[in-house]
A and B are shown apart, each in its own frame.
Chain A
Amino acid sequence: MTTSLNARSAAISALIAIAVLLVWHLATQSTASGPALDPEYAKLVGATATTGKSAMPGPLDVGAKLIEHLSHPFYDKGPNDKGIGIQIGWSILRVAMGYGLAVLAAIPLGFLIGMSPVMSRALNPFIQLLKPVSPLAWMPLALYTIKDSSKSAIFVIFICSIWPMLINTAFGVASVRKEWLNVARTLEVGALRRAFSVILPTAAPTIVTGMRISIGIAWLVIVAAEMLVGGTGIGYFVWNEWNNLSITNVIIAILVIGVVGMALDQALARVAQAVTFPE
């Protein structure tokens, strides 16, 4: 039953992929052989269009380029020409740092808020106020105070990925069953051991859910942040290729961003599975 379900869904996925590629292919073909362009417009859109080739690449162009990228992912020919592997590496590094710092801050703080109703109420207005702020709104402030574009990007990742983890940790910690805390109390378990061996395992599934939401946000934000701060990273790569009018590379970047984002999400889904316990 499950195997046939898997097989059927995989078949449908493959069909959709083929259909999309086919439509894409035909659509870009027809532009190439379409009616002659208005010369004024042709001048505007540039050489690629006037030479009869579509500015919009087809799947075969993208595929060829992708193979080229993947065979030399780490070349470095100066600031505006680096392999896609290097660019994505920079983005992952920044996300790892900003997100890592957010984890280090959110989990202990979340414990504090979850365990103390007073702190929960005291900090709630700040959380509610800061949580809805768009990450990009932080950028000027970060650039002004930190004065380093790469660190500013890390700060923005930090500030936007902290909230879901903070809120989920606090919620998970606050909803530990009283029974289990009573077990710890009757066994005279100390505060630290109680935190690690009773509260943390109970709250872990909720915490990891928060971490999963956060990594998604962090990955969304890094592209935008790198477009703004420039220099390196996949966001900068997209921006740079747009300036080069290389739509092929932009499409490849989109694919790569999607794949990495999916991998990050799946990694945390694995963690979530590992810490979930059946009741």
Chain B
Amino acid sequence: MRPLISLESLAKRYPKAGGGETTIFENLWLSVNKGEFVCIIGHSGCGKTTVLNSLAGLERPSEGVIIVDGKEITAPGLDRAMIFQGHALLPWKTVMGNVAFAVSSRWPKASREEVERKSQAVIDLVGLTGSERKRPAELSGGMKQRVGIARALSIEPKIMLMDEPFSALDALTRGSLQDEVRRICRETGQTVVMITHDVDEAMYLADKVVLMTNGPAAMVAEIVENPLPPDRDRTGMHKQPDYYALRNHLIDFLVTGSRTFRDHIPPKYDPMKPPLVRPGATSPGTMQREDALQAH
């Protein structure tokens, strides 16, 4: 099956202050299948946001192409919805106004009732029924982020892109929003690429976790397949047999691997096909399954 998203030989360089160039990353390859929930983790500054913004079309990569559903991406589009880290709601519009703005952009010919009805449906979906007439300033951080999610969902995108969507929230709110996002994405089969710093969040939400090494010249070290069962729940997840194997694997990478990977590149490492790894009982230790990507 052809992947829905395919990043091919992506590079991003910025001119250095004293002349020359800094390479944030280069020769970066990544593919995401339809319906997959992919999390990208890596240290601050490695280029995660740059990858996501390129995918959104908000930034142009210096080299390489991004293909979504068979077409090259050169500009932002309604097939990809972005959930911004700082929610980016329009403060002069109400909750309904913010969502309706997106809906009427997606369906410019829709009648007002139609727009309102579609907006109401997603507002209900994210649990904001009753707050339609409120302005963002009257909402809590969690509610604002819910509006952001509703706005993204409302345009029925092929792909949802999230840049640390919950990092500014308290643990309790974050937890309930994670539940919400996971429920919605599972129900609708939504394809998601999400950036996070939170290992537990990645373990709960992701089907695959992309590990990025430290910048500059960051690489995709490996892609970790989530061994936890699909019907996992956030609070009971730690009782799953593979929980610690996965968690230790991710934390080991963040603590040491992200830094040392560059100096100990495995002999068979191929940037076009980063190794697919599935930690846990089903395959003790690290198992290389390079052909798994193809087989998918």
Contacts and interface: CB of A to CB of B under 8 A. Distances in A.
Contacts of A201: 90, 92
A187 B86 contact: no
Contact of B90 (A186, A188, A198): A198
Nearest to B152: A186
A278 interface: yes
B82 A182 contact: yes
Contacts of A277: 91-92, 135, 137
A43 interface: no
B259 interface: no
Contacts of B88: 179-180, 182-183
Interface in B52-104: 56-58, 75-78, 80-82, 84, 86, 88, 90-92, 101-102
Of the candidates A185, A188, A197, A202, the one having the most CB atoms from chain B within 10 angstroms of its own CB is A188
Interface in A162-191: 179-180, 182-183, 185-189
Nearest to A177: B88
Interface residues of B, number: 23
Q: Which of A182, A183, A202, A279 has the most CB of B within 10 A?
A: A183
B137 A187 contact: no
Contacts of B78: 186-188
A180 B90 contact: yes
B92 A182 contact: no
B105 interface: yes
Interface string B131-172: 000010100000000000000000100000000000000000
Contacts of A187: 78, 101-102, 105-106, 155
A206 B184 CA distance: 40
Interface in A188-224: 188-189, 197-198, 201-202
Nearest to B78: A188
A201 B91 CA distance: 9
A147 to B, nearest CB: 46
B91 A179 contact: no
Contacts of A180: 88, 90
A186 B135 contact: no
Given A179-B84, A179-B86, A182-B84, A188 B92 contact: no
Nearest to A197: B101
Task: Name which of A187, A201, A202, A279 has the most chain B CB atoms within 10 A of its CB.
Answer: A187
User: Which DSSP category, helix, strand, loop or mixed, fits chain B's interface?
Assistant: loop
Contacts of B91: 277-279
Contacts of B84: 179, 182-183
| Chain A binding surface SS class | helix
B137 A279 contact: yes
Interface residues of A, number: 16
Contacts of A179: 84, 86, 88
Contacts of B90: 180, 183, 198, 201
Interface in B38-56: 56
Contacts of A278: 91, 135, 137
Nearest to A202: B92
Contacts of B92: 201-202, 277
Contact of B58 (A182, A188, A198, A279): A182
Contacts of A188: 76-78, 105
Nearest to B106: A187
Given A180-B88, A198-B90, A279-B91, A186 B58 contact: yes
**Residue from the set B90, B91, B106 with the largest chain A CB neighbour count within 10 Å:** B90
B81 A186 contact: yes
Contacts of B77: 186, 188
B154 to A, nearest CB: 10
Nearest to A188: B78
B257 to A, nearest CB: 33
A180 B101 CA distance: 12
Nearest to B151: A183
Contacts of A189: 105
Contacts of B105: 187-189
A253 B129 CA distance: 58
Nearest to B93: A201
B52 to A, nearest CB: 12
Q: Which of B76, B77, B78, B80 has the most CB of A within 10 A?
A: B76
Given A183-B82, A183-B90, A198-B90, 8 more contacts: A180-B90, A182-B76, A186-B76, A186-B80, A186-B81, A187-B102, A187-B106, A277-B135
Closest 8 CB pairs of A and B: A278-B137, A277-B92, A187-B105, A179-B88, A186-B76, A185-B76, A201-B92, A277-B91
10 contacts: A182-B76, A183-B84, A185-B75, A186-B78, A186-B80, A186-B81, A187-B78, A188-B78, A202-B92, A278-B137
Interface of A: 179-180, 182-183, 185-189, 197-198, 201-202, 277-279
